[in-house]
Amino acid sequence: MKQELLIHQETIKSRIKELARRISSDYSGKEPVFVGILNGSVFFFADIAREMTIPLKIDFIRAASYGSGNSSSGSVRLTKGLEIPVKDKPVILVEDIVDTGLTLSKILDIITEQSPESIKICALIDKQERRKKDITIDYCGFQVEEGFLVGYGLDYNEQFRCLNDIYKLHFEK
Ligand code: IMP
């Protein structure tokens, strides 16, 4: 298995600063609930939350998805739900990578049931090739067409999560 450097940590840092500026300006005067989707978003979440110039509340959710191999099936349940009430509050969901979009679309349905004022999505990576659900990513770090990515929170069977840069994995046949 080979790793090809795709996004350098300095590029990630400066993109996060830009996103945080935009979000802080869009939510000026508000205090959104910033919701990290565990585990993949942890480093992205921690870095972008600290670049924001508005007050935030933070919470986390964790979803279990029943899929096969490297693809999710869309059968999703929360193994950890929100602990902060979000009724009538603006919510920003923070995700590592959107692939088929099935996981995020189920999470959106579940959170919508709690009647927040609004829900927006902030995703580090928008991976477009296998998209099955039409999802609007309001704040997107990087768009990639395809490939399996690791590092900066992204894992392959729990490996590579703690790398500082993002790599594309090449599987040998
Ligand atoms: P989706 O439901 O197909 O959009 O899957 C989203 C989830 O699958 C992400 O939150 C990741 O946990 C995982 N995932 C999808 N693509 C990758 C990847 O390239 N690297 C690591 N995890 C991925």
* pLDDT digit string, tens, across residues 4-28: 999 999 999 999 999 999 999 999 9
| Whole-prediction pTM | 0.95
Q: Which residues contact 15 (CB under 8 A, 6 or more apart)?
A: 141, 142
For a mutational test of ligand 1's pocket, the pick from 99, 133, 148, 159, i.e. the residue with the most ligand atoms closer than 8 A to its C-beta, is 99
Catalytic residue at 99?
Answer: yes
Q: Is the pLDDT of residue 71 over 90?
A: no
State the closest ligand 1 atom to the C-alpha of 41, by its place in the atom list counted from 1.
Answer: 10
For a mutational test of ligand 1's pocket, the pick from 60, 95, 97, i.e. the residue with the most ligand atoms closer than 8 A to its C-beta, is 97
Confirm or reject: Cβ of 126 under 6 Å from ligand 1. Answer: no
Q: What's the pLDDT tens digit per position in 141-155? A: 999 999 999 999 999
Q: Which residues contact 51 (CB under 8 A, 6 or more apart)?
A: 16, 17, 19, 20, 21
State the closest ligand 1 atom to the C-alpha of 148, by its place in the atom list counted from 1.
Answer: 19
Cα separation of 23 and 18, whole Å?
9
3-state secondary structure of 7: strand
